[in-house]
Structure 1
Amino acid sequence: MSNVQFDSLKFRYPFRKHQEMILQSFKNEQLKSKGGPLHFHVVAPPGAGKTIVGLECVIRLQVPAVIICPNTAIQGQWIDKFDLFIPEDSNINKDDIIGSNPNSLKPINVFTYQVLSIPDNDTDSYRSVSENMWAESISESLGIAKEEALDRIHKMREKNLAEYNKELSKYTKKLRNSVFEGSGGDFLKILHPNTRELIKKLKEMGVKTVVFDECHHLKNYWAVVMREIIKEIDAKNIIGLTATPPSSDEGESYECYTALLGEIDFQLPTPAVVKDGMLSPYQDLVYFCIPTQEELKFIEETHERYKKLIEKFDKKDCDFYNWIEKRIVERKLVSGEKQAWTKFINSRPGFAAAGVKYLIKNGCKLPWDITVTEDMYNEMSVEDWCYLIEDYALHKLKVSDSEEDKVLYEDIKLALRSLGFILTEKGIRNHNSPVDRVLAYSRSKLLAVKDIIKEEMLSMGDKLRVAVITDFEISNALSLKKVNNVLDEESGGAVSVLKELVADPEIDKLNPIMVTAKNLLCDDDIAEKYVEIGNKWAKENSLDIKLEVQPGVEGLFCAIAGSGRDWNSKTAVLFTTYLLEEGVTKCLIGTRGLFSEGWDSIALNTLIDLSTATTFASVNQLRGRSIRKNEKEPRKLANNWDVVCIAPGLERGYNDLERLLKKHKQFYGICEDGRIQQGIDHVDAALSFGETKIMQEGIQSINARMLKKLRQREEVYNAWKIGEPFLNIEVGCCELRMSKPCKIKTAGLMKKEFGTLGRKLKLGVACGIGSIGAIMMAAAGMTFGPFGTLPVLAAGVLMGVKSVTDIRGFWKYGNDLFMGRPAIDTITDISKCLFYALKECGFISRDLYERKITVTERADGSLRVYLEASKEDSQTFAASLAEILAPIEDQRYAVQRYEEKMPEGTFERLNCMIGWGLNKSNPQLVCYHPLPSLFNHKEKALVFKKHWNRYVSPGDIVYLKGEEGKKIVENYGRVNFFGAKKQLSNIWM
């Protein structure tokens, strides 16, 4: 295919803004490559038009290409979308340019991963490659040539077949494992002959561009095979497209993936595609519930042993305390030397942090050679206790000859097991917890689903289209015998949801339908209609399907039996989705396996997720189902619900909440103030700052807010500002929750305000004196008659009223401005200081302006602070702000903070304000703030001091490593002055 033909191909429509951004990034990568090898790895949500972008990239590269997809459906989409690149009224023949026939290659070829990776089961192929692996091993260990090693192996095969087979089996097994695990090997030789022939043709065709669609599938076997194919055909341009890249937590799979595709070059979050109008906006909501009485009783009983154990250990006068204090404070090595704290915490971070938490909790005064970080002031979690108990049990009790210690060791094992932990020689390990299962599949979640659906029905009426997603059709909760009397075989499954919904007269009006890989159950009200429409639909689509009704249970629902060549779970889902679109049913119930990747319903506007999935890929695919554009409902806004069951006050009672936090960790959503934020914060501000211990009152207030938000679809749609410009940048943000009041700044930094206060005071006093004088004159002049004294008396009264008004104004101004100064003002001052110091020192761009600082207050009173700048600059700013508000510990420099004295009583306040009005100020040193680590050099620290003195407070910097500094650390260290909780997050703009 000539370049002229490539040049004649052009997308018929304007690219969306987000597509233009991707293509601009691609152009930048082309320029960087300077005609050499090019890798372009794109992450964008489902519905972002990645196929269009991929085809445009192929056309721009102007060399033969192969596009590889996970299945034939997606393969067909690529070929169909190519029509949009052929100019109307042109004589270009599509079949001459793009195709999917391995026997007739085109300039652009579209194949599946399966076609290019079929293994050959031929024994000779495996034997040949295994012999090569064996020879390489001998060559490496004995230092002989590979050819000599192969010759030795062949002689063994001829003369000592038994030993040959014995040795060869080791490498054959290794090879087969590597094929299916993707850990290495000469793969091309073990591919099917037809596959090898296809690869040969691609090479001869001169294919230099390879596009991997849905490239998150490239893990293990596929990844390694594709890597070998790229080498074989000498491809220069590698393009990867996905919505769900694997996580670094996935170990070898992630390494295989990144070895092939490299780091992500362009990432487009879902909000960008929403703002661009290609996906519907959404809001993430959560509904909390509490286990049933029976379930709660079971959970409480599982905690009994553990609680008794903690009560025994959580005090100063016990053997456990003495052991932990010795391990944390003394830190003796086998040699008898004391281990440095840095080495100790680096080698055992979990144990070290838990030990410090425990000692602080029990009132231990820690030596200053122990660095206490802010998180060590948090409450102890069950995981913290496990770190400490593990050390105590294995290194103290298990090696003891005391019978009492042996009994305690066994008690610990039993207590931990009841909560889902096993104590082994290698430490404490997690195992399937009955508590976790009860929370995940609690019957109370069914009641929560009913509450949500009823509220959605009131809000949406006939427009409601809801899907409830579960893990299973019938829960496997019974695999744990310990929950046998609490959960039944249907707990948490799709069947239990259907039964609950059809039994409710109101929700039954939605005509719920359940579809799983095994069964199709529907509300008895529409069973006959379902079959009638289904058989008609099959006939219209030329499908060999016949449906019939089977009796159900208790007359509430019926089973639909299907037969025929084309009847399977796929066609069942397609047809049921058609019924949802048409409104025959308004409620689908199904499993995550069927209703995630590959399933779409443009009418769906409410998703209720009861599954336990937390991986990025699973959650992203599921969330994408409800946000497809619906032309019939142009202002569609999807409500995505999570249902979370917690047992307040119990250590393992928050497992379901922790799942929720993990689920939302990587996702962006819209907050109540219209900002788009990553993490759980966008669901509700009360869930931020690692709040995992929500009590019953908190549950009720969050649920009330969620049900209110449910009804605010129009307001939330407007808040998304669809169609307005966006930058597609991730901005670092520092969030703060202050538990102590902020006081006023010193008079020297508030000259204007103190001057205004003084003028109000002087005017009020002057009017008061004038009033008194006039009244006295009037009284003295009464002998001259009323006509001479009345004007003077009237003037005196008016001046008195004016004096009272002015004095009141003086009090109100002083009280409002100084006594009740909000935290947002103080944090704004600190932010300005930090901004100018970072800018002057060159730590952030010198082109930035003060107006790029944003400090806002959220609904719960917490503050959000960020710098509208590049990702790097904004993260530098946010992290540095968090450092300023941290307690003094082992930082290098600190700066003094002065404040005016804040009196408590009304008379004292008035007296104080009079003094301020008369320009009398008596600032007091209240604390020291650590300087961010970027200002560890003295000249940089002096720059910070200059701006601190200008915006925040007078005061000097102090070197904390000197003698004076050590005294300051002793007196002011480890104190959280504002009582501030801090967390770093990301805002998308």
Structure 2
Amino acid sequence: MQKLSDNLKFKYTWRIYQQKFLDGFQEHIKDEHLHVIAPPGSGKTILGLEILKRIGKPTLVLSPTLTIRNQWRSRLLEFFTVNGEFDAYSLDIKSPDQITFSTYQSLFSFSKSFGENAKEQLLAYIKEHQIETLVLDEAHHLKNEWWYCLFHLKAIEGLTVVSLTATPPYDSTGTEINRYFSLCGPIDDEIAVPDLIKNGNLCPHQDFIYFSKPEAAQIKYIVSYREQILNFTNKLLANTALQEKLITQDFYVNPKKSLDYIYQYPSFFSSIIIYLNSCGYAVNENNLKILGFVNNDVTFPSFTYEWSEVLLQHLLVDQREYFIAFEDILLPLEKELKRIGVLDNKRVNCVGDEGLYRNLSNSPSKLESIFKIVEHTNVSLQEGARTVILTDFIRKEFLNFEGNDTKTINKLGVVPIFKYILAKQPTNSSLAVLTGSLVIVHENALSHLKEILAIVQLGVEPIEGSAGYIFIPVPDALKNKIAEAITQLFKIGIMTTLIGTKAFLGEGWDAPCINTLILASYVGSFVSSNQMRGRAIRVDADNPDKTGAIWHLACLDPTAINGGKDMEKLQQRFEAFNGVSMRDEIYISNGIDRLVLPEEWSETLDLATINKDMLSSAQQKNVFRDRWAAAIAKGNVLVRELKIPYTNETSFARTKKLNALNAGKYVMLEVVLGVSFFIPEFLLKNFGAVLNKGVVQVIYIFCAALILGFGPKTFKALKLYFLFGNQYKKTKKIGTAILHYLIDEKNLNFESNNAKIVAEQNLKGTFSIYLQDASQHDCNIFISLLEEVIAPIDNPRYLLVNVNFIKRKLGIKNYYVVPKDIGKNKTEALRFKEYWNKHVDGSKILFTRTVKGRKELLKARFSHLKYQFEEVSKKAITWK
């Protein structure tokens, strides 16, 4: 068997950031795991080949598509072999070699071919062929059944797993994210976009958003949908039959006898109490005690749509059999919810169903947004414009559209976009459509196309209502050649706006000349769209001054103050990549905050002005080039940090977003200010009493007035202080405990022995905490543990509980989580407690899997309800 390190050698010189990564390779691979984020343009495939060469063992490389699989082979032969002489590779998983390039689908199909005992036979096959390294390229959003094969392979003892991705699936559900990181492991290293721009491997770029409002029909649909849910909720609150059934249930009447059930479904139990409270029922004191409240010291939250979902999901779906006696009441509720679209596929969703989300995401109002961006780009860049519009569907049914009445173009897709732009600009001859089954060009481009293809005749058909444009039927044999030819024509400017599908252009297609990308895609993951985004920010050898503009489209829900589902999805997507801030302070970070958007999206907001500003900013190429340069100069590494913002409100009663850990300070401030105003006023009003009754009696009156006037607020301030303390100092202490534990116990493969905690607080009060002098892997471990400790409590095995004499008298306890990776067993949990007691406070450890423990866990989970606080800490990636 040929030795990989003897037969493969990288022919060129490594870029600075690539060499920096390779210098730390041996440390990363110690635990037989390597998870690397490498943005498009960073040479991810070449680095992957160098990694498997250095590991030096028979390797299976899995890719998402055949195109990318073939790229691995071509990069191997082009960059690592002399005259392509290395032949110890295979493209067929059924005939593996030292390096086997395959796809996830091929692996799944191959495993199915074994029939019975497929898992055991697949593992035996891998061992038989001595495959000891598994490379996962872009292992995100795979079909569910494909995951099983990968987890089976990962179970092989001694197998080294290398995961390479340009974009982790941050925009996915929590389940998908957890599954991804369970397979790929924590991120070990990341090649930073600022380094790529600094080294000239990516061009300066900026993300923009063009906003639109739904069409009148869509608004009517949304408003009607919301009204139906509101009417249903009002009827639910008036449903005395349901209420009378609930108040007779054993777990409600005698909660102490139903602790196992209540602790198994604590959210459902809470939803019943909140529902009945909203219906006017006095809540049983025993029920409050179960939730951790004493002396009715609780301000109940409203019966919101979220609580309604919890209640109905449990009654109608999850525990329907348990509530069989409710059937005469539940059946009408079920029918009504299905009728209005709230109950679908065994899921109750009162906030907005998938149909509502798609209705907005696919809004025809986005057609106007696309046209405005294209029009503005053409005016701004003229012949230099190279715009690609990426969408999901072709929608050939719109090919027969004629005229300029765009109201009938009511869907988003390749053909609707093409027809809409032409309806607005009938003389535009610079458009082209490129998909796997549909190719449209202007007749002016036909001769150039024939020349590149070296053919005399090419079958074409005219397009109705699109003067000058022709449809090219593409035989399978010519599909790739025509795609390459149109890409060349796009490059030289025969056409300047290319409209295509995500499926055809999203991965594998390359055109570095792109300088404007419009992402009109919403189906599936944003990851594949981000592959396309990467192509728009690559440098262009023929245009050294290139800058990239990436446009995202958002259709705002006029009934939602946060902008609705479309905006929410966009915010998630922005977590997946870094960029430079658009205005004000110059910095590089992930997230949508860097665009400085309005905090609330009211109906009166002037979207036209926001869009005009976005278009104007997109023109200012030198500005975002200079901002990138200034921001890059301010740092040298991407840092994973935990950000804890708060609103600077002095009145606690008026704020709902004030962070819990600083609340005591503001209430105490209110007390101090109140007393300072009260004393002079009291003395002036009672000056005569001092002369008549004497100083001592007046002091008694003064003290009584203070207690009556400010006693409750003082008590509340003290309670908040002892419950939460000072957030900034407390979080630093918690971070210190975690860091010392990781360094001293050598747990979780933490290697950064010289790491230091850095906490920064800006003038607005927001602070961030991160590690300095630590690897990306160790920073990820630290931040994940810290976030888990201070996040809302879910279902940990161990809790840290702090209570002293004063807190006991105030009836409060502090609860913090022992992170799951530390709390896997009692020994480690107790070791962590020692560091906690040394650096934070004198807490006791509590195992939550006992009756007593589950009772305390329930109190911990719901203690925040009485203060109505909102956790707002979140991970961020910032260039520092």
TM-score normalised over the length of structure 2: 0.66
1:512 aligns with 2:422: no
Which of 476, 493, 497 lines up with 1:587 in the alignment? 497
Quote the Cα distance in structure 2 between the aligned partners of 1:59 and 1:700.
54
SS at match of 2:645: strand
Quote the Cα distance in structure 1 between the aligned partners of 2:432 and 2:75.
33
Quote the Cα distance in structure 2 between the aligned partners of 1:836 and 1:224.
41
1:26 aligns with 2:25: yes
Which of 311, 334, 343 lines up with 1:421 in the alignment? 343
Counterpart in the other structure of 1:465: 386
Out of 933-942 and 304-313, give the one that drifted further. Answer: 933-942
TM-score normalised over the length of structure 1: 0.60
Counterpart in the other structure of 1:835: 732
Counterpart in the other structure of 2:618: 710
Native 8 Å contact 2:37 2:164 kept in 1? yes
Quote the Cα distance in structure 1 between the aligned partners of 2:841 and 2:60.
60
Quote the Cα distance in structure 2 between the aligned partners of 1:744 and 1:76.
56
Given residue 497 of structure 1, which amino acid in structure 2 is its aligned partner? I
Quote the Cα distance in structure 2 between the aligned partners of 1:590 and 1:55.
31
Counterpart in the other structure of 1:71: 66
1:344 aligns with 2:262: yes
CA separation of 1:848/1:109 partners in 2, compared to 1, >3 Å: closer, same or farther?
closer
Counterpart in the other structure of 2:443: 528
Counterpart in the other structure of 1:909: none
Q: Report the CA distance between 1:538 and its aligned residue.
A: 0.6
Q: Report the CA distance between 1:863 and its aligned residue.
A: 3.2
Quote the Cα distance in structure 2 between the aligned partners of 1:401 and 1:221.
36
Matches within 5 A, 1:329-408: 331-332=251-252, 337-340=256-259, 344=262, 346-347=264-265, 349=267, 351-352=268-269, 354=271, 367=288, 369-370=290-291, 382-390=305-313, 399=325
Quote the Cα distance in structure 2 between the aligned partners of 1:896 and 1:368.
20
SS at match of 2:458: strand
1:974 aligns with 2:866: yes
Q: Size of the alignment, in residue pairs?
A: 736
Given residue 552 of structure 2, which amino acid in structure 1 is its aligned partner? D
Native 8 Å contact 2:214 2:556 kept in 1? yes
Given residue 414 of structure 1, which amino acid in structure 2 is its aligned partner? E
Q: Report the CA distance between 1:332 and its aligned residue.
A: 2.9
Counterpart in the other structure of 1:305: 228
Counterpart in the other structure of 1:136: none
Counterpart in the other structure of 2:718: none
Matches within 5 A, 1:232-311: 239-243=162-166, 265-268=188-191, 273-274=196-197, 276-311=199-234
Q: Report the CA distance between 1:535 and its aligned residue.
A: 0.4
Quote the Cα distance in structure 2 between the aligned partners of 1:880 and 1:227.
28
Given residue 726 of structure 1, which amino acid in structure 2 is its aligned partner? N
Counterpart in the other structure of 1:854: 760
SS at match of 2:623: helix
Quote the Cα distance in structure 2 between the aligned partners of 1:176 and 1:221.
14
Quote the Cα distance in structure 2 between the aligned partners of 1:59 and 1:286.
42
Given residue 537 of structure 1, which amino acid in structure 2 is its aligned partner? I
Q: Report the CA distance between 1:411 and its aligned residue.
A: 6.2
| Cα deviation code 1:357-392 (max 9, x no counterpart) | 6678789889354259xxx98887645423334556
Quote the Cα distance in structure 1 between the aligned partners of 2:622 and 2:468.
35
Q: Report the CA distance between 1:594 and its aligned residue.
A: 1.0
Which of 720, 723, 744 lines up with 2:628 in the alignment? 720
Native 8 Å contact 2:59 2:99 kept in 1? yes
Quote the Cα distance in structure 2 between the aligned partners of 1:828 and 1:546.
80
Q: Report the CA distance between 1:837 and its aligned residue.
A: 7.7
1:438 aligns with 2:374: no
Given residue 624 of structure 1, which amino acid in structure 2 is its aligned partner? G
Q: Which has the larger radius of gyration?
A: 1
Matches within 5 A, 1:470-869: 470-474=391-395, 491-505=411-425, 509=428, 511-522=430-441, 527-539=442-454, 546-556=457-467, 558-562=469-473, 566-568=477-479, 570-615=480-525, 617-649=527-559, 654-672=564-582, 673-684=585-596, 686=598, 695-697=603-605, 703=611, 706-707=614-615, 709-721=617-629, 726-740=636-650, 831=728, 834-835=731-732, 839=736, 842=740, 852-856=758-762, 863-869=766-772
SS at match of 1:344: helix
SS at match of 1:649: coil
Q: Report the CA distance between 1:470 and its aligned residue.
A: 1.8
Given residue 727 of structure 1, which amino acid in structure 2 is its aligned partner? V
| Cα deviation code 1:297-327 (max 9, x no counterpart) | 2333344433322233457x96667777888
Q: Report the CA distance between 1:831 and its aligned residue.
A: 2.6
Counterpart in the other structure of 2:658: none
1:46 aligns with 2:40: yes
1:186 aligns with 2:121: yes
SS at match of 2:10: coil
Q: Report the CA distance between 1:520 and its aligned residue.
A: 2.1
Q: Report the CA distance between 1:501 and its aligned residue.
A: 0.8
CA separation of 1:944/1:416 partners in 2, compared to 1, >3 Å: closer, same or farther?
same
Q: Report the CA distance between 1:598 and its aligned residue.
A: 0.8
SS at match of 2:368: helix
| Cα deviation code 1:598-647 (max 9, x no counterpart) | 12221212222222235254343343232222234435333322222233
CA separation of 1:286/1:447 partners in 2, compared to 1, >3 Å: closer, same or farther?
same
Quote the Cα distance in structure 2 between the aligned partners of 1:223 and 1:942.
43
Q: Report the CA distance between 1:497 and its aligned residue.
A: 0.9
CA separation of 1:323/1:494 partners in 2, compared to 1, >3 Å: closer, same or farther?
farther
Quote the Cα distance in structure 1 between the aligned partners of 2:789 and 2:142.
39
Quote the Cα distance in structure 2 between the aligned partners of 1:650 and 1:250.
23
Counterpart in the other structure of 1:983: 873
SS at match of 1:603: coil
Native 8 Å contact 2:57 2:133 kept in 1? yes
| Cα deviation code 1:426-462 (max 9, x no counterpart) | 9779998653443232221112222333344454444
SS at match of 1:577: helix
CA separation of 1:652/1:56 partners in 2, compared to 1, >3 Å: closer, same or farther?
closer
Quote the Cα distance in structure 2 between the aligned partners of 1:68 and 1:397.
48
Given residue 95 of structure 1, which amino acid in structure 2 is its aligned partner? E
Higher relative contact order (CA 8 A, sep 6+): 2
Given residue 468 of structure 1, which amino acid in structure 2 is its aligned partner? I
Quote the Cα distance in structure 1 between the aligned partners of 2:177 and 2:730.
46
Can you give the 5+ residue segments of structure 1 that lack an aligned partner in the other structure? Answer: 87-91, 121-173, 190-195, 478-485, 751-826, 885-889, 898-926, 947-969
CA separation of 1:837/1:53 partners in 2, compared to 1, >3 Å: closer, same or farther?
closer
SS at match of 1:310: helix
Quote the Cα distance in structure 2 between the aligned partners of 1:417 and 1:22.
56
Given residue 986 of structure 1, which amino acid in structure 2 is its aligned partner? A
Native 8 Å contact 1:438 1:487 kept in 2? no
Q: Report the CA distance between 1:734 and its aligned residue.
A: 1.6
Native 8 Å contact 1:607 1:626 kept in 2? yes
Two-structure CA RMSD over aligned residues (Å): 5.8
Quote the Cα distance in structure 2 between the aligned partners of 1:361 and 1:700.
41
SS at match of 1:472: coil
CA separation of 1:383/1:545 partners in 2, compared to 1, >3 Å: closer, same or farther?
farther
Native 8 Å contact 2:519 2:553 kept in 1? yes
1:95 aligns with 2:85: yes
Counterpart in the other structure of 2:706: none
Quote the Cα distance in structure 2 between the aligned partners of 1:101 and 1:114.
13
Matches within 5 A, 1:872-883: 872-873=781-782
Given residue 66 of structure 2, which amino acid in structure 1 is its aligned partner? N
Native 8 Å contact 1:474 1:493 kept in 2? yes
Quote the Cα distance in structure 2 between the aligned partners of 1:277 and 1:219.
37
SS at match of 1:518: coil
